[in-house]
Amino acid sequence: MLSRLPTLFVSDLHLSARRPETANLFLRFLAGPARTAQALYILGDLFDAWAGDDDRADPFNAGIGAALADLADAGTQIFFMAGNRDFLIGNLFGVPSRLTLIADPTVVDIAGTPTLLMHGDTLCTDDADYQAVRALVRDPAWQREFLALPLAERKVKIEEFRERSETAKSGKPYALMDTNADAVADAFRRHGVTRMIHGHTHRQARHDHVVDGRACERWVLGDWHATGNALAVDANGCHLLTIDE
Ligand code: MN
């Protein structure tokens, strides 16, 4: 028996103490609309930066963690997939926040439809520089070495990295940083699905694709600023919600 309650998807909130209005919008979302969902999937970049789970006691991070746990206590299951900003989130933050960590990519049956979930950055294969950095920082040996540094030093390094990445992005053509059509088709093919949901590019849209003669749909989640967005999925299909109060 399928639940009639929708499943909600969000990504790219980029929560940071520097942008309290977005954090407050997300807290209201967790206390309100998210409670009508059977499950909430956060598909990466929940936080704008994550230096390691030993930063979970930071008041801002702890506040978000507590609000997530409250949502889970109210009956909405929460799944978290890491993005390129918060891939160092682990179970020391995840367990008390009641997050079930899921791999990128993951295929889940959502309201009767096998659905491929990704953060989305692995689809951006045209950006070779980005993919090289990604391969480095996702390497377990690199992560062990990085996490062995003092927290304060990690925060400084992340801030430097963030500034370099913003500068690099401003010099790159718009198309270079979007998903690559062959990578998208390969993902549909490899996972044998006709529905995909991802974020990362901040280019909220529904795209229709034909892969090997099969009609496929790809939903791209947008990022959160003064307003937010979520994709609601139930047995009738998918629709985008604007979160603005
Ligand atoms: Mn991202």
pLDDT digits (tens, 9 = 90+) for 57-77: 999 999 999 999 999 999 999
pLDDT digits (tens, 9 = 90+) for 181-220: 999 999 999 999 999 999 999 999 999 999 999 999 999 9
H helix runs in the chain, sequence order? 20-31, 59-73, 91-94, 128-137, 140-147, 151-170, 181-191
The whole-angstrom separation of Cα 15 and Cα 13 is 5
Ligand 1 geometric centre to CA of 122 (Å): 10
Distance of CA 227 to the CA centre of its chain: 17
Query: Smallest Cα–Cα separation from 26: which of 231, 242, 228, 241?
Result: 228
CB distance 62 to 164 below 8 Å: no
Across the strands, what pairs with 77? 39
In a domain, 142, yes or no: yes
pLDDT at 4: 82
Ligand 1 geometric centre to CA of 16 (Å): 14
In a domain, 1, yes or no: no
pLDDT at 111: 95
The whole-angstrom separation of Cα 115 and Cα 112 is 9
Q: What is the CATH number of the domain that holds 92?
A: 3.60.21.10
Ligand 1 geometric centre to CA of 133 (Å): 13
Prediction pTM value: 0.97
Ligand 1 geometric centre to CA of 200 (Å): 4
Ligand 1 geometric centre to CA of 37 (Å): 24
Ligand 1 geometric centre to CA of 224 (Å): 12
Angle at 69 between CA 66 and CA 71, to 5 degrees: 115
Helix or strand or coil: residue 75?
coil
pLDDT at 214: 98
Strands (E), 133-243: 195-198, 205-211, 214-220, 228-234, 237-243
Ligand 1 geometric centre to CA of 49 (Å): 11
In a domain, 2, yes or no: no
pLDDT tier, 2 (very low <50, low <70, confident <90, very high otherwise): low
Residues in the chain: 245
- Domain residues for the domain of 78 are 7-243
Ligand 1 geometric centre to CA of 12 (Å): 6
Total number of domains constituting the chain: 1
Ligand 1 geometric centre to CA of 179 (Å): 12
